[in-house]
Amino acid sequence: MTVLSLRGITKRFGALLANDAISLDLQAGEVLALLGENGAGKSTLMSILFGHYVADEGSIEVFGRPLAPGNPKASLAAGIGMVHQHFTLADNLSVLDNVMMGTEPLWQPFSRRGAARARLLAVAQRFGLAVQPDAKVGSLSVGERQRVEILKALVRDARILILDEPTAVLTPQESEALFDTLAQMVAEGLSIIFISHKLPEVLRVSHRIAVLRGGKLVAEARAGDTTQAQLALWMVGHAIEGTGRRPARQVGDAVCVLDHVRTTGSGHDRLQDVSLTLKAGEIVAVAGVSGNGQVALAELLSGTRRAIAGSVSLMGRELPPSPARLVQRGVARIPEDRHAVGVIGDLPVWENAVSERLRSRAFSRWLWVRRGAAKAHARGVEKAYDVRGAGLESPARALSGGNMQKLILGRALMAPASAAAKQRNPRLIVAHQPTWGLDIGAVAYVQQQLIAARDAGAAVLLISDDLDEVLTLGDRVAVMHGGQLGEPRPAAAWTREAIGLAMAGS
């Protein structure tokens, strides 16, 4: 039985054709994986389905009835639910309050909490999603929060569930629990649209796969009839050179040393007695569930957070708590949030390309910006790091996620041509979630650049929620939990299961 039918969906944003006559069907009890590079049109298509956008052409039927365009309430009423990659929960409210939010009219004289609690517990038991209704969401683990997001949709009688990158921040054990939940949902007759960049899990959980490229539907196949290599080829239009495991060639002396460091911070977002040595020509990868001190570690080594105890040294000298001085001393940073921290979206590409070195003699003199030199450097970054999609004068927000990350990489790793030879390559690279939300082609490119920087002699600290990335790139791997960092061990000494247990605090 067909539960969802999209016919000829077309959406334009000015000259950009985001969706080009896309037609798709979803069957009852089916998991349909939706794949595509960043900018392929997945988000636009789902936004049209959920009523956030109105298609320029085409129609949608849900359970045989036309879906009113541009009306999220109509989509919810038709049985469509969506679990976003970034959770939309109120941490200071209980699980029950979060699930009830928006389900009762404002003019209702009293809240029917008893009935809502009973329904929540019944749905949770039916789908194997155990929750404590009175627990504060802020006290829950990431996996438990995801259960609440799914229950929010199921309590509203969702029969079609859209999951956007559902395993992005889960431990392996939490991912396994999610897959069991999906199997239970399908057995109960629900239909699922599964959006992910992780091809192994796509092949595992989905029945059928649809691939978008450049706004068009370019391929459909049953999961059992295709491979990771074929899916990657459909997504990007050409074969992808895998990063593969490439051990460090030659590990040098210590570049940065943390000795029993503590920082301030709320909850687990702080360092508690952390010691770590980062050496030239080596990648140390830090795994962990987000919110366990990774932000504090990245900010400490980027100069935006101070240590309140212990010591941090860079090349044998005390680490200055100043981002500008750290850049001068050879520290390159790739921040976690490329949109909010990595670039200033309203400034042109060329200004973003030189922003961290704007006060250097290469780009300014007597408080005047040397625009010619700055734009020449930006063009070099654009060419060397294959930044596409916007000219130098275009605002950085016009770039896709992958191209924005390439711009940040080029800014961090490519020093001005006039700089002294000894400063040409960074000494320390702090890469925090460098491939977050990127498509398979952009992921491979970013990872190759980090390996090249390591082989050129840089010490690389990689902080990532992606265990495949951690185990592929890390020469040594450590796990962070509750603000504490475990002893780094060779990547070959870890298994995914062992890392998952350590991430959970075992």
Q: What is the pTM of this model?
A: 0.74
Q: In whole angstroms, what is the distance from residue 338 CA to residue 411 CA? A: 13
The answer for residues whose C-beta is within 8 angstroms of residue 124's C-beta and 6 or more apart is: 130, 131, 147, 151
Closest to 291 measured CA to CA, from 166, 401, 143: 143
The pLDDT profile of the chain, 506 residues, written as one tens digit per residue, is: 899 999 999 999 888 899 999 999 999 999 999 998 877 888 889 999 989 899 999 999 999 999 999 999 999 999 999 887 667 788 888 999 888 887 766 666 667 788 888 989 998 888 888 888 998 888 877 778 888 888 888 888 889 999 888 887 677 777 888 898 899 889 989 999 999 888 888 999 999 999 999 899 999 999 999 998 899 889 887 766 655 667 788 899 999 999 999 998 876 678 999 999 999 999 999 998 877 899 899 999 999 899 999 999 999 999 888 888 898 889 999 998 888 888 998 999 999 999 888 777 788 887 788 888 889 999 999 888 888 877 888 898 888 777 888 899 989 988 887 544 345 679 999 999 888 767 777 788 889 999 999 999 999 999 998 888 899 999 999 999 989 999 999 999 998 888 888 887 77
| Domain 2-236: homologous superfamily in CATH | P-loop containing nucleotide triphosphate hydrolases (3.40.50.300)
**Quick one: how far is CA 356 from the chain centroid?**
23
Please check whether residue 297 is in contact with residue 463, taking contact to mean a CB–CB distance below 8 angstroms: yes
Buried b / exposed e over 386-409, threshold 16 CB at 10 Å, is ebeebebeebbeebbbbbbbbbbb
Token code pair at residue 461 = 């600290």
- The stretches of 37-141 forming alpha helices (DSSP H) are 42-49, 72-77, 95-100, 113-127
Domain 242-330+426-506 architecture: 3-Layer(aba) Sandwich (3.40)
What's the distance, Cα to Cα, between the start and end of the chain in Å?
Answer: 45
The boundaries of every CATH 3.40.50.300 domain in the chain are: 2-236, 242-330+426-506
Please check whether residue 310 is in contact with residue 260, taking contact to mean a CB–CB distance below 8 angstroms: yes
